[in-house]
Amino acid sequence: MTGLTGFQAWAAMGGYAVFVWPAYATALVVLGGAGLFSWARYRASLRDLDRLQREPRER
């Protein structure tokens, strides 16, 4: 019970939760999104390049 209360108190951020958590969520979504998008494009570029380099040998 005490643990839950402690967690709730921490999550409430002294009454500033409505500002603190959206700030961290923004950083996570924007920077995490940039990371995931960059990585996905990198993997796609590797796949495309690999396919283009293999094509002449496959003919």
> Which residues contribute to the site for another protein (CB under 8 A)?
10, 13-16, 19-20, 22-24, 26-27, 30-31, 33-35, 38-39, 41-42, 44-46, 48-49, 51-53, 55-56
Q: Tokens 């283009």 belong to which residue?
A: 52
- What tokens does 55 get? 């094509």
Considering the complex, what minimum distance in angstroms separates the CB of residue 3 from another protein? 14
Q: Considering beta carbons, is residue 4 or 24 the nearer one to another protein? A: 24
Q: Considering beta carbons, is residue 1 or 53 the nearer one to another protein? A: 53
